[in-house]
Amino acid sequence: MDDSAVIESRPEVIDGLRRLLPARALLVAAEDTRPYECDGLTLIRQRPMAVALPETEAQVVAILKLCHAHQVPVVPRGAGTGLAGSALPHAGGVLLSLAKFNRILGVDRRGRTATVQPGVRNLAISEAAAPFGLYYAPDPSSQIACTIGGNVAENSGGVHCLKYGLTLHNVLRVRGYTSAGEPVEFGSLAPDAAGLDLLALVIGSEGMLALTTEVTVRLVPRPTVARCLMASFADVGDAGDAVAALIAAGIIPAGLEMMDQAATRLVEPFAKAGYDLEAAAVLLCESDGTVDEVEAEIAHMSQVLRDARATRLQVSTSEAERLTFWAGRKNAFPAAGRAAPAYYCTDGTIPRKHIGQMLKSIQAMEQRFGLACPNVFHAGDGNLHPLVLFDDSDPDSVARAEAFGAEILEESVRLGGTVTGEHGVGVEKLNQMCSQFDRATLDAFLGVKRAFDPAGTLNPGKVIPSLHRCAEYGRQRVTGGAVSFPDLPRF
Amino acid sequence: MQTTLAPAFQNRPDAQEAAALLRSCVHCGFCSATCPTYQILGDELDGPRGRLYLMKQVLEGDRPTAKTRLHLDRCLTCRACETTCPSGVQYGRVLDTGRQLVNEQLPRPLLSGLVRRLLAVWLTGPLFAPAVAMGRLLRVLPAAQAAGVVPHRLHARRMLLLAGCVQPALSPNINAATLRVFDALGITLQVAPDAGCCGAIRHHLDDHDGALSEARRNIDAWWPAVEAGAEAIVLNASGCGTMLHEYGHLLRHDAAYAAKAARISALVRDVAEVLPALVGQLAPRLRERQPQRVVFHPPCSLQHGQKIRGAVESMLTTLGAEVLPFADAHLCCGSAGTYSLLQPQLSRELRDRKLAALGAPRPEVILSANIGCLTHLAGGTPLPVQHWIEWLDAQLA
């Protein structure tokens, strides 16, 4: 459907939006809306009927009410860095950007909290808290750009989540609106709230239950010192075993990440981190705390890693060097742009003991699908981030990449894991949700969605697959053709 | 990001290059985080990722409207996005082509085109300096610091210095201070009389042919000295340095100039690249006094365009200054060449934010490295604003 047809179909909605918003805050023409047709997942794209860029909370409420009254879908969007298409626009819907809500409302030094608008960048919270010796612990690799609203929607993780928890464990309160524009508030500044823990339900709900307009996060004291230990391994299986050995030894590193050789070679030109490019895999193990604690923990970790057949150990000697060690890991995804025109990253999560086995399976898949797949991942959580490299100008390459990604997720489920550790389901993993959950469970998810959004206008079609889709996916897997969403345009 | 060139562009080298550069963009959105205009406006169309998408549409054959042009015009070309981009997208080059294609398909309205042409002629022409002098006489413009005595000693080590176009009129002391500092280090800086504006002003005002003519004129002016063994072409305006680094690329299809242009680009050195190895020699000549509290605003053309980061700050520390850290040093001050004249609102907002950040640690002086930033910042603060080499010159006994 071209855009004129969409607009003609809902002129009353567009007219209504024009009355609510200044001209600069409403995009309708294809020229202006196409750049919003996808988020960080570029494989799947859809131009929205309109993009709204409200500047006040009153405008947000008015947009929600207008759309609710006309049964028009509303898709919330932050910085558009999501990797699962949770912010994929709806063809007949309004993409509601919260980018202009980028103010830090307050940092409470004594209460160790920060209250911020949803469009505030993850890293900006830590920067604002830095003068008080505090920071916000969850640190997704996209933390320079991703917003707290998106973090709440996806229950984002990050390098430091092994020790400090996910978004869920670091958010105290979320205020927002339902699809009907009714105000809602979840959680409180108290350690626990009476009644059902709806805050936990809303965090990670991918914008399906409520639209977030304000978040209060927990801040933690910046450790006196942090150091990073980089360990090389001659075999990926050894590296996987070393991760399990560290955890078994009772150590909870502040970060525990793995990169395989293909990944270190991919990011080194940008990061210049001094990674051991000859190693089959590199582990990054962070220790933070007081000087004595860190010294003891680094010694303990070194011993465990040596026993686990590490071939080389290097400890960061300065804060600058520590950040350099992490720079490559944090920029690994986009750095894939240096090696291939496009990449497809999934985030299946498996029990730690199966890491070595999983990497070997992925190597076999590289041969079968004819595509390279460097691996970086949150090893401590068993949270994989395989980067399937492909050529998006070649439809066959695109199809193989999607099939490759899907198979890794299926393998994750087979190994007793889950299809997403932190990026969310969005539209990307709708099919694999059919493998992960039975129909009764999916129907229960739909029941929760309806309880918050009976009209089904808030980010519809995400996360929970329809019965029809699961039936289709089952058939596809039987016949072996694995192109998902054949009806959608390709990037 | 895959771009399928429209038939009209398939044989154009600039469009082919832009499409090839777009291939390395994976749409991660990291660039938005450090884009000054996105921070203010909050619309992805006013950030690098959205602008790349708008230009991709043009390359694929969609006819742009004035809206696309507005979003491209609002770009400061600060290239902070290039520093942030993990995929190495050369955004600045895509933007050059994107702007050109948009203007070809949608000529600028008469008045705005005229303003740009007049600005180019005016700023780089012979009337600018007398006009500035007149402005000072009438007290419309603040007085400039006097240039002082310029050394004329001939040393064995010789380098070329680009005198620049607007800088000598606006701030004559910068070149004079540069000559004195280099003289103290035993290096003679030669100014080629026929060299003039580096071409950046015309380049950013849509006059690409005019910019190339200026590049060729400068190359001709410097060539005898280059052949005679000049070690480097030294610049004390980082904006011009960024432009000179592009000569090789801009003239790569010009058979007569391609090789010379590449050689010139390879010889370009900002003063911040030449001096760190030499300032130690100045230690005996430094005046003894209390360390001065300074902030250094690194121009985008220095830190993003030429990727020279930290050199000036550590040199100033070596020379006894207390260099104070401040927030968001990676962000543009809003000067951006003629941007301050063409996009005054955004420019002013960025300047005010920058001055607030620079002033927070309570410095005694603001230092920078590009005439555009210096003039722009000085217009909004009572604090003294200087090129760091002027500050260094003043430390010498």
Q: How far is CA A245 from CA A15, A302, B385, B387, in A?
A: 62, 12, 58, 56
**Do B251 and B306 share a domain, yes or no?**
no
Q: Establish if B113 belongs to a structural domain.
A: no
Q: What is the pLDDT of residues B326-350, one digit of tens each?
A: 999 999 999 999 999 999 999 999 9
HSE-CB at A487 with a 13 A cutoff on CA atoms is 3
Compare all CA atoms of chain A with the CA of B27 and give the residue at the minimum distance.
Answer: A40
- Residue A488 — very low, low, confident or very high, per pLDDT cuts 50/70/90? very low
Surface of A (136-175) touching B: CB under 8 A: 142, 144-146
Query: Exposed e or buried b for every residue in B361-396, given b needs 16+ CB within 10 A?
Result: eebebbbbbbbbbbbbbbebbebebbbbbbbbbebe
CB contact under 8 A, A123 and B33: yes
Structure tokens, A59: 């405008």
Which range has the worst mean pLDDT, A16-20, A204-208, A478-482?
Answer: A478-482
Q: How far apart are the C-alpha atoms of A136 and A263, rounded to whole Å?
A: 28
Query: Shortest CB distance from A32 goes to which of B27, B45, B87?
Result: B45
B92 and B26 share one domain: yes
Quick one: which of B269, B280, B293 has its CA closest to B391? B293
Shortest distance between the Cα of A144 and any Cα of chain B, in A, equals 6
Within a domain: B125: no
CA B40 to chain A, closest CA, distance in angstroms equals 8
Of A101, A107, A106, A12, the closest CA to residue A50 belongs to A12
Compare CB distances from B67 to A31, A100, A119 and report the shortest one's residue. A31
DSSP-derived 3-state class of residue A52:
strand
In a domain, B244, yes or no: yes
Do B270 and B287 sit in the same domain of this protein? Answer: no
Return the CATH number at B88.
1.10.1060.10
Looking up residue B163, the CATH number of its domain turns out to be 3.40.50
Domain match, B98 and B184 both: no
Is A480 a residue whose pLDDT tops 60?
Answer: no
What is the structure's pLDDT at A3?
Answer: 45
Q: Closest to B86 (Cβ–Cβ): which among A38, A121, A331?
A: A331
Best A32, A126, A333 member to test B by mutation, with max B CBs in 10 Å, is A32
* B118 lies in some domain: no
pLDDT at B128: 86
Residue B382 domain-assigned (yes or no): yes
| Length in residues, chain A | 491
Kindly state whether residues B161 and B270 are assigned to the same domain: yes
Mean pLDDT of B202-217: 94
Q: Are residues B223 and B251 in the same domain?
A: yes
Residue B90 forms contact with A (CB below 8 Å): no
Chain A positions touching B65 (Cβ under 8 A) are 29, 31
- Does residue B132 sit within a domain? no
Answer whether residue B135 is part of any domain: no
Residue found under tokens 């072409």: B233
- The domain boundary, picked from B236, B257, B274, lies at B274
Q: Indicate if the pLDDT at residue A476 is higher than 80.
A: no
* Best B24, B43, B83 residue to mutate vs chain A (most A CBs within 10 Å): B43
Q: How high is the pLDDT of residue A8?
A: 52
The reply to whether residue B53 touches residue A35, judged by beta carbons under 8 angstroms, is yes
Four-point Cα dihedral A400, B15, B330, B262, nearest 10: 120
Which whole number is the average pLDDT over A252-262? 93
Quote the ipTM score: 0.92
CA-CA-CA-CA torsion sign (B212, B218, B220, B223): negative
> Edge-to-edge, what's the strand order for the sheet holding A225-233?
A310-315, A225-233, A281-289, A255-260, A375-378, A383-390, A342-345
Q: Which residue of A has its CA nearest to B49?
A: A35
Question: What average pLDDT does the segment A295-313 reach?
Answer: 97
The answer to whether the CB atoms of A270 and B43 lie below 8 A apart is no
Whole-number Cα distances in Å, B215 to B158, B220, B226, B305, B327? 22, 9, 15, 18, 36
Q: What is the model's pLDDT at position B149?
A: 87
Contact residues, B window 11-30, toward A, CB-based 8 Å cutoff: 23-30
pLDDT tens digits, A36-66: 999 999 989 999 999 999 999 999 999 999 9
- Among the candidates B274, B293, B316, a domain finishes at B274
pLDDT confidence bin for A1, thresholds 50/70/90: very low
Number of domains making up chain B: 3
Same domain? For B187 and B263 the reply is yes
Q: Which tokens hold the place of A41?
A: 């997942």
**CB A145 to CB B29 under 8 A?**
yes
Q: What is the pLDDT of residue A491?
A: 37
On whether residue B148 sits in a domain, the answer given is no
Query: Do residue B336 and residue B267 come from a single domain?
Result: no
Per-residue pLDDT at B49 exceeds 70: yes
Residues A268-281: what's their mean pLDDT? 90
Distance from CA of B74 to the nearest CA of A (A): 14
User: Which of B2, B67, B85 lies closest to A341 in CB terms?
Assistant: B2
- Asked if residue A439 has pLDDT above 60, the reply is yes
Q: What's the whole-number average pLDDT of chain A?
A: 91
Contacts of A481 (CB under 8 A, 6+ apart): none
B29/A80 Cβ within 8 A: yes
Find the closest chain A residue to B58 by CA distance.
Answer: A31
Q: Give residue A9's pLDDT.
A: 59
Per the document, the length of chain B is 397
CB contact under 8 A, A97 and B68: no
- Residue range of the domain that includes B339: 283-395
Instruction: Inform me whether the C-beta atom of residue B171 falls under 8 Å from chain A C-beta atoms.
Output: no
Q: Which residue of B has its CA nearest to A83?
A: B28
Residues of A in contact with B86 (CB under 8 A): 267, 270, 331-335, 337
